[in-house]
Chain A
Amino acid sequence: MGLEQNEVSLEQIAILHNRFKQLSQNEETLRRDDLKTIQDLESNPIRYQIIEAFFDRRNFQKDGVGSVEEIGFEEFLTVMSYFRAPAHHITEEQREEIRRAKLRFLFNMHDTDNDGTITLEEYRHVVEELLSRSGALGRETAKGIADAAMLEVASISVGPMAPDEFYEGITFEHFLKILKGIEIETRMHIRFLNMDTAVFCKQHSV
């Protein structure tokens, strides 16, 4: 909840609300199936993870656990707010906070079993799905890549390991570490601009 909903402008909320209604067929709540029916999502290799993220309690509140069957507009908006662009002028701390929030979201997405670490299996799963689009390369390669990535994580986050040490998975701290190079606070966002109504709202209004 690092990004407060009230930071989303009113116009954006209105737009999203319309969309919410459209998706839920004017119901109060949204279900997974509603999202799965979205046409454009069909070709998205990691659509299930993303849809799952919308129903993941961890993304609604700090100590949430597990997932829910249906979400209301508030939850929908909360998840969406993870993809808000940061305001233009923010302090370092705020930036760091936003960064953590966004990364936490990503982390939760990968950490499907909710145990605080992304295990190799989970990571493989992600990579496999990412690669699945390119067809024949397939699972084995995906595995190889995930393994290589995991090794890299291990070497970055733990450093040289003792011979009998082993690496269980990526913790959130390690996750922060390995993605240090990506300016996620400026990358993970979309433009909440409604094409239908062509409202020219200023994107970053607070």
Chain B
Amino acid sequence: METGHTEFPSGNILASAPDISLKAYLHIFNGTEWQHNISVHFTFVSLFSLFFAVPESCMLILLGLVLGAVVLIASKKQPYQLDPGLFFLFLLPTIVGDAGYFMPARLFFDNLGAILLYAVVGTLWNAFCTGFCLYGVKMAGVIVNAGLMDFLLFGALISAVDPVAVLAVFEEVHVNETLFIIVFGESLVNDAVTVVLYKVYISFVEVGPGNVHTADYFKGIASFLIVSIGGTLVGLIFAVILAFVTRFTKKVRIIEPLFVFLLVYLAYLTAELFSLSAILSMTFCGIGCKKYVEANISQKSRTTVKYTMKTLASIAETIIFIFLGISAVDKSKWAWDTGLVVSTLIFILVFRAMGVVGQTWFLNWFRLVPLDKIDQVVMSYGGLRGAVAFALVVLLDKEQVKAKDYFVATTIVVVFFTVMFQGLTIKPLVKWLKVPRSTNRKPTINEEIHERAFDHILTAVEDIAGLNGYHHWRDKWEQFDKNYLSKLLLRKSVYHKSELWEAYQKINIRDAISVIDQGGNVLTSARLSLPSMASRTSFPEVTNVTNYLRENGSGVCLDLQVIDTVPGAKIEEELETHHVLAGNLYKPRRRYQSHYSRHFMTVGEKERQDREVFQRNMRNRLESFKSTRYKRHKKDRSQKKRKGSDAKEQDTNDKPRRNVSWQDKAVVPVAPEEDKHDPSEPDKDDDVGITFVARKAPETPKERPKSAALDVCQSPVAAPPSPTCGEKNLPWKSGVGSLPPCVSVEATKIIPIDLQQAWNQSISSLESLASPPAPPEPQHPRVSALSRLGGPLRTPAKGKSSGSGGAGSGSNTGSPSSGQFKFPTGKEEEEEGALSQQQQEMQPLMSSLRPPPPPPPPPAAQSAGKRRNPCVYLRSLVTVPPSGAEPQSRRPTQL
């Protein structure tokens, strides 16, 4: 069933892709019902493999068989075969290109020793043993008559593990990465061995066994070295060229994927041209270039490359397997020999197992993580033969290899047996053996960090121990890469980017997406406190990171303008206007594109439009939040009252709120700003939203849980009635920008780097707006801060906490006059704290403490509720360093 999930997408591809690709051929069928039939079949295949967890490769072969039979019956003659030319020129490269490009390079090189051993020694062993043993069987007279060279040739082509088959089967099995990379790597790298053996034997067969001299054997060995190393070199050269080319494609993003496909394919063709190992070449081209190419090309190109490659590979794989099935039906092409078939099958399985066991035994002397018995079983069993063998055997010249037809038949059986029987049973086997599976879990950022740390630590320890081990050399290579290669091959703008940074970015984006998906109710709300940190240090300066992020379009940034502009009152105003306009005007949709170009894409008008719609929606959502607060608040209140115990407290709290309410009015003008903030803030936060608030917790810890609980369940109520969110922000923002007194020095706030600028801007703008009304309402700032923070207000700075304590005493609570936007002194803070306390409906103590409960009841409550929701929303979106918030939670305890 789990497979059902993973298979679905590819199933879709299968259902449609072959349909298309086959249409071209279908004209011979003289009828549309054939087409219909075929697509029905494909759908059937995907559905079948979906429900019964049968590997697609099996289903495809079966389908091919059926199709082939039908065609054969209809036309008496099999018009299709898996044409070796087509196979080696087009089908195989797409699969190998995909495999090489997406090969996990680190894993590959970590296991390179094992891979090479299995690929070279293992394949040679298989080839020779199979060849000689078949010859032995022939001597016994059981099977078809052929020369030693013929059998050796056959052994060579039948012994190589096939990348297509391995990929097809292992991708569904999900064995652990090490196991997979060893088998898969082997299947790719053994191409050199196969090619050489095949060619050498062919030439031997051509000249006749009698004319082969000893020197020729050495030539064979030499040619192996040339073929393998040469192929690798060609691949690496093309990798460098490709990486270098993509360095300069910034202006022509649209052809970036083209370069990737073209040059990788060229690597294949070039190697083929020089009779080198084309698979090796292509594989290493992919492995080599990926790091640089991925860094150089744009995100869109990356996606394009990825999906195109995957799709092409799937198509090629599908075609290969289907044609394998179709080809098998053609009786004219093969001759059956039971003895040959059976003995070949047995030899293949036996020698594969023996080879694996022997080599693993040898390897485990050196491997730090040994391959255990179960691994060996899977490796033996996973030695699948496939289309490469078939194509090679079809390529044989019947004039020279008399037994070709027998070999073809045997190869077909072997391929079918390994792909279908073994492919079908390997999954249950893996399950039964409890082979460690691979997990799709993405590493967390901590794991990422430690992976890196490991590399350095191990390198350092090796260096200290004076051992020039693997880590030592890898480190050397990385140095070289960093000092020379990267400088040469990477764009300047991406040169300094590190993988960790990427991971970090990904996490941010993920968070952002989840925020948006979930309406901003979830999130990175965790707070870290670092008592020892100075607040100043925690503010990152605006760096080029902002630019970097923007350039890469990584963040979900709704409001770029906000981020871009430097804070300034005038600009702010203009911006405001701009936003109002931008928010309310749709750009007229353009019907026609002014010109068409294949190589340049205009930034999609559509895209812009979409973005705008998105922004607008976000804004609307926020606004609706505001408007709904009202109602919700009422609801909440009523609910609470029902609870009974809390009712009194609520009432008492309500009163203070009323006070707040008129403050709200004063705040009203700020509202537009708020709007502006809202859209921008969430975005920013998404980008890097991390807020750490450091505070000492002098107040009783008991309080916290309570407050937390309150926040969680009654967040709407808990949040004090506050002026608009923007206002709430004000105190904070001001704190951020200029560190007003209200923010204790100890409070640690980390504003995501990207956000900082915008943050400051908004603060300044808010300040300017807010400052006038300040005198009448002392509570304002507090409230706003609180509300902004959302129901769960967190960390009070240490200083604040002290301030709040003062407030707790009740000295300032009522005084409206004291409240100002910028709280210059601890006192004011205290006041704020007091207000916040008042606002908290849940806390009974507060009411008692507060001597002068503010008068206006209902409006305040309403406003509070209204605001509160947005606050929560915002809060979740933007983790704000809540300096003012703390008082709420703590107050009660103090009181």
Mark A residues whose CB is within 8 Å of B: 15-16, 18-19, 22-23, 35, 38, 40-41, 43-47, 50, 54, 80, 83, 85, 88, 106, 109, 119-121, 126-127, 130-131, 133-138, 140-141, 143-145, 147-156, 158, 160-169, 178-179, 181-182, 186-196, 202-204
Q: Which of A16, A44, A195 contacts B459 (CB 8 A)?
A: A44
Instruction: Check B443 for interface membership: any CB of A closer than 8 A.
Output: yes
| B691-709 residues at the A interface, CB under 8 angstroms | 692-695, 697, 703-705, 707-709
Q: Say yes or no: A190 contacts B446, CB within 8 Å.
A: no
- A164 and B368 contact, Cβ closer than 8 Å, known pairs A83-B458, A140-B545, A149-B446: no
Interface-central residue, B370, B467, B469, B472, by most chain A CB under 10 Å: B467
A166 and B461 in contact, given A46-B456, A149-B445, A179-B447 (Cβ under 8 angstroms): no
A163-B447 in contact (CB<8A): no
| Docked complex Cα distance between A163 and B718 (Å) | 12
Kindly list chain A residues whose C-beta atoms are within 8 Å of the C-beta of B368: 85, 186, 189, 191, 203
Residue B74 at the chain A interface, CB threshold 8 Å: no
C-alpha gap A43/B471 in the complex (Å): 13
A-facing mask of B434-472, CB < 8 A → 1, else 0? 000000010111110111111011111111111111111
Question: If A130-B452, A162-B707, A191-B368 touch, does A140 touch B543 (CB 8 Å cutoff)?
Answer: yes
The answer to whether A46 and B460 have CB atoms under 8 Å apart is: yes
Is B793 engaged at the interface, CB distance under 8 Å to the other chain?
A: yes
A26–B541 Cα distance when bound, in Å, is 50
Q: Can you report 30 A-B residue pairs in the complex whose CB atoms are below 8 A from each other?
A: A16-B465, A38-B463, A38-B464, A41-B460, A106-B450, A119-B532, A126-B449, A130-B456, A135-B495, A137-B501, A140-B541, A140-B753, A144-B690, A145-B449, A145-B501, A147-B750, A150-B692, A152-B444, A152-B446, A163-B707, A164-B707, A165-B704, A167-B529, A168-B529, A179-B447, A181-B443, A181-B447, A190-B462, A195-B468, A204-B370
Shortest Cβ gap from A115 to chain B (Å)? 11
Known: A46-B457, A147-B750, A164-B889. Contact between A203 and B366, CB under 8 A?
yes
Binds A, one of B520-528, B583-591, B728-736: B520-528
For B465, list chain A residues within 8 Å (CB): 15-16, 19, 80, 190, 192
Q: Which 7 A-B pairs have the closest CB atoms?
A: A163-B792, A162-B708, A166-B529, A154-B526, A40-B463, A19-B466, A134-B498
Contact flags B782-799 to A (C-beta < 8 A → 1, else 0): 000000011111111000
A166:B527 contact, CB within 8 angstroms: yes
Contacts of B466 in A (CB 8 A): 18-19, 22-23, 194, 196
B497 contacts A134, C-beta separation under 8 Å: yes
Find the B residue at minimum CB distance from A164. B889
Known: A149-B445, A190-B469. A162 touches B704 (CB 8 A): yes
Q: B666 near A: Cβ within 8 Å?
A: no
> Which of A19, A135, A152, A189 is in CB contact (< 8 Å) with B507?
A152
Contacts of A137 in B (CB 8 A): 496-498, 501
Residues 729-764 of B, flagged 1 when their CB comes within 8 A of A and 0 if not, give 000000000000000000000101100000000000
Q: Is the CB of A35 within 8 A of B365?
A: no
Closest Cβ–Cβ distance, residue B97 to chain A (whole Å):
30
Contact A120 B528, CB 8 Å, known A148-B504, A151-B690: yes
Contact between B463 and A41, CB atoms less than 8 A apart:
yes
Name the residue on A nearest B486 (C-beta).
Answer: A134
B885 within 8 A of A: yes
**A162–B705 CB distance below 8 A:** yes
Q: Given the known A-B contacts A16-B465, A120-B528, A148-B507, are A165 and B794 also in contact in the complex, defined by CB atoms under 8 Å? A: yes
Residues of B within 8 A of A121 (CB): 530, 532-533
B444 near A178: Cβ-Cβ < 8 Å: yes
CA distance A192 to B504 in the complex (A): 34
Complex contacts, A148 vs chain B, CB 8 Å: 445, 504, 507-508, 688, 690
Contacts of B752 on A, CB cut-off 8 Å? 144
B776 CB-CB contact with A under 8 Å: no
Which residues of B are at the interface with A, using a C-beta cutoff of 8 A? 365-366, 368-370, 441, 443-447, 449-454, 456-472, 475, 479, 482, 495-498, 500-501, 504, 507-508, 524-533, 540-541, 543-545, 688, 690, 692-695, 697, 703-705, 707-709, 711-712, 750, 752-753, 789-796, 885-886, 889-890
Q: Is the CB of B792 within 8 A of A164?
A: yes
CB pair A145–B467 under 8 Å, yes or no, is no
Given known pairs A22-B466, A47-B460, A162-B708, the reply for A203 and B365 (CB within 8 Å) is yes
Given A19-B466, A120-B533, A179-B447: A151 in contact with B526 (beta carbons within 8 A): yes
**A191 and B794 within 8 A (CB):** no
Q: How far in angstroms is the closest Cβ of chain B from A107?
A: 11
Q: A161 to nearest B CB, angstroms? A: 5
| Chain A: minimal CB distance from B434 (Å) | 14
A50 to B453, CA, bound (A): 10
Chain A neighbourhood of B704, CB < 8 A: 162-165
Asked if A182 and B464 make an inter-chain contact with CB atoms under 8 angstroms apart, the answer reads: no
Q: Is the CB of B453 within 8 A of A192?
A: no
Contact between chains at A106 and B524 (CB < 8 Å): no
User: Are B445's CB and A163's CB within 8 A?
Assistant: no
Contact A144 B449 (CB under 8 A): no
- Which of A109, A151, A179, A194 gathers the greatest number of chain B CB atoms within 10 Å? A151
Chain A residues whose CB sits within 8 angstroms of the CB of B467 once the complex forms: 15, 190-195
Contact present for A191 and B504 (CB under 8 Å): no
Is the beta-carbon distance between B450 and A182 smaller than 8 angstroms?
yes
Contacts of B369 in A (CB 8 A): 85, 186
Q: Which residue of B is nearest A35, CB measured?
A: B464
Please measure, in the bound complex, the distance between the C-alpha atom of A187 and the C-alpha atom of B457, giving whole angstroms.
11
- Which chain A residue shows the least CB distance to B364? A88
| Chain B proximity of A81: nearest CB distance (Å) | 11
Other than the given A130-B452, A141-B543, A154-B527, 10 more pairs (CB < 8 A) read A15-B467, A83-B458, A130-B500, A144-B688, A144-B690, A178-B447, A179-B450, A190-B467, A191-B469, A204-B370
Q: Closest residue to B696 on the A side, CB-wise?
A: A166
Looking at the assembled complex, report how far the CB atom of A45 sits from the nearest CB atom of chain B, in whole angstroms.
6
Chain B residues whose CB sits within 8 angstroms of the CB of A16 once the complex forms: 465
A104 to B702, CA, bound (A): 32
| Cα(A144)–Cα(B524), bound, Å | 14
In Å, the complex CA distance between A106 and B501 comes to 22
Q: How far is the CA of A88 from the CA of B789 in the complex (A)?
A: 54
CA distance A120 to B532 in the complex (A): 10
Q: Would A188 and B446 be within 8 Å (CB), given that A140-B540, A150-B692, A151-B528 are in contact?
A: no
Please determine whether A41 and B447 come into contact, CB atoms closer than 8 angstroms: no
| B456–A45 CB distance below 8 A | yes
In the complex formed, the residue of B with least CB distance to A123 is B449
Return the contact of B540 from the options A50, A143, A203 (Cβ within 8 A).
A143
Q: Which chain A residue shows the least CB distance to B793?
A: A163
CA gap between A163 and B525 in the complex, in Å: 8
B694 touches A182 (CB 8 A): no
For residue A134, give the distance in angstroms from its CB to the closest CB of chain B.
Answer: 4
- Scoring A144, A156, A163 by chain B CB atoms within 10 A of each residue's CB, the highest score goes to A163
- Complex Cα distance, B466 from A23, in Å, reads 9
Q: Could you tell me the distance in whole angstroms from the C-beta of B596 to the nearest C-beta in chain A? A: 40
**Cα distance A88–B501 when bound, in Å?**
36
The docked-state distance in angstroms from the alpha carbon of A160 to that of B183 is: 42
Alpha-carbon gap, A40 to B791, bound state (A): 54
Nearest-CB distance from A174 to chain B (Å)? Answer: 10
The docked-state distance in angstroms from the alpha carbon of A147 to that of B453 is: 17
A148 CB to nearest chain B CB (Å): 5
Question: In whole Å, how far is B247's beta carbon from the nearest beta carbon of chain A?
Answer: 18
- List, in ascending order, chain B residues with CB within 8 A of A187's CB: 454
Contact A181 B444 (CB under 8 A): yes
- Give the distance in Å from the alpha carbon of A193 to the alpha carbon of B500 in the complex: 31
Given A80-B465, A149-B449, A181-B444, A155 contacting B524 (CB threshold 8 A): yes
For B690, list chain A residues within 8 Å (CB).
144, 147-148, 151
Task: Give the most central of B449, B464, B482: most A CB within 10 Å.
Answer: B464
**Could you say which residues of chain B place their CB within 8 Å of the CB of A181?**
441, 443-444, 447
A50-B753 contact given A119-B532, A165-B527, CB 8 Å threshold: no
A163 engages B791 (CB within 8 Å): yes
